[in-house]
Amino acid sequence: MKTGSLRGRVILTTLALLAIVLAAVVTAVTLAYRAKLNGDLRNRLAAAGAAVERAGSAPAVKPLIPGLALEGIATRFAAAPGTGPTKTSSTIQTHKSLLTLDEVLPDRTRVVFSASHASVDHAVKNLLLVELLVAASALALATLLVLRGTRTALRPLSAVIETATRISHGDSNLRLNPSRTDTELGSLAAAFDQMVDALETAVEEARASDAATRRFLADASHELRTPISALQASVETLLREQPERPERDRLEAAVARESERVGRLVNDLLGLARLEARPTRMPTDLASIARPLVEEAHVRAPHATITLSADDDTTVRGDPDALERVLRNLIDNALAAIQPAGRVDVQLRRLDGYVQACVADDGPGVPEHQRERIFERFVRLDASKPGHGLGLAIAQRIAHQHDGDLTCDPTPTGASFSLRLPAES
């Protein structure tokens, strides 16, 4: 990007154009003035020849000589050569810097009129001098006006520079706020404000992401510390004391249980990290995913009432594995919330260009003030139940990646979760 002085370029361009226009005007006026003077000189010679021709003799011509001299025309008499008939010449001829006209009178007197271009050249030089002085004065005045005009015209750019400098020093709330956006400077100011807004948003998102990362690492460390400490204590006891059964069996079961807990937590953390990648998109029928999950739920909770109802077309565009994880999480949470003979209803509906998967149960439900909080990482409403509080956070993140949403809906009894995704057209 060339970064030469914009003010200098505007001034030089304007003055160059003005100088070209003034030169063209001076040239045109000078040439026209010279042509006019030359025409007048020729007309005076022609008028002198006509007057002599009307006089007809040398004595009658002599009274005209003083008047012609005042007009810059010199008169000279000479005898016409030969003895035959005379012929009058009215052609004006040029000899170096002189214009001449020959007239032969009936009495065979030759009259020669001459006029010099010197007077024309002198007048043209005087005019040219005046024009150059006027042009120089006009150019000087134009320079002052252009300097003042460009300073005024480019003042908004100075405002942009000042605003950018103040923003760089920490005044991030400052904006140009142009009165018009349909002009060049207005468009520049509007684009500048949009850029600053975008940068400020990016900075806020980066800060929020950094804070969320720190919180996530702290929560992950806290969640991992407990099972790892218990696992370490059990292993150290086994190695140090070599207890007899059944104490040995109890410690070994604790090691297996805590190892499984750590494994689940690590898998959830890895799954949460994989969500940063862009999911695969393909036509996916949610009903085809939900049916085997419901059949599996019947096996796990044989005394519970688990129903599935689906519309004919519940196809969305998304990642089948990720969407299966969402539905599995919702059904697993519902089974964990209900009593052995409780009820879980799974409904798949196509509404207004969206497919909505609703999983409802008749368990204790979710308090109203916790319906948003349960989607945060490591949040568990019942610490006595298994899990690490990552399932719903992962599920909602998957929904957002598919341009949809996962919400906890208000319901008189139990809990109801709705997954809403754009339908495949």
> Which of 388, 158, 172, 393 is closest to 273 using CA atoms?
393
Range 362-371, long-range pairs (CB < 8 A, 24+ positions)? 362/338, 362/413, 362/414, 363/334, 363/337, 363/338, 363/339, 363/414, 363/415, 364/337, 364/414, 364/415, 365/411, 365/413, 365/414, 365/415, 366/408, 366/415, 368/410, 371/407, 371/408, 371/410
d(C-alpha 356, C-alpha 354), whole Å: 6
Cβ atoms of 106 and 100 closer than 8 Å: no
| Residue ranges of domains in the chain | 6-151, 174-274, 282-422
pLDDT of res. 27? 92
Pairing mode of beta strands 305-310, 343-351 = parallel
- Confidence (pLDDT) at 290: 94
Residue 109 pLDDT: 75
Note the pLDDT of residue 223: 62
229-261 burial: b if 16+ Cβ within 10 Å, else e: ebbeebbebbeeeeeeeeeeeebeebbeebeeb
Taking Cα atoms as reference points, which of 340, 341, 363 lies closest to residue 417? Answer: 363
Cβ–Cβ under 8 Å, residues 394 and 275: yes
List average pLDDT for each run of 10 residues in the chain, which is 425 residues long.
70 88 91 87 80 72 76 74 53 76 75 79 89 90 86 77 79 78 79 84 78 67 70 81 80 79 71 61 92 92 92 90 89 90 94 92 86 74 58 85 90 91 87
CA distance 189 to 184: 9
DSSP letters of 279-317?
PP-EEEEHHHHHHHHHHHHHHH-TTSEEEEEE-S--EEE
User: Pairing state of beta strands 354-361 and 282-285?
Assistant: unpaired
pLDDT of residue 286: 94
Cross-strand pairs, 418: 358, 407
Domain 282-422 has CATH 3.30.565.10: yes
The predicted structure's pLDDT at residue 405:
93
Q: How far apart are CA 318 and CA 46, in angstroms?
A: 101
CATH 1.10.287.130 fits 174-274, yes or no: yes
| Predicted local confidence at residue 273, as pLDDT | 61
The predicted pLDDT at position 315 comes to: 93
* Gap between the Cα atoms of 192 and 197, Å rounded: 9
What's the CA gap between 242 and 234, in Å, rounded?
11
- Sheet-wide strand order for 98-104: 74-79, 109-116, 98-104, 92-95
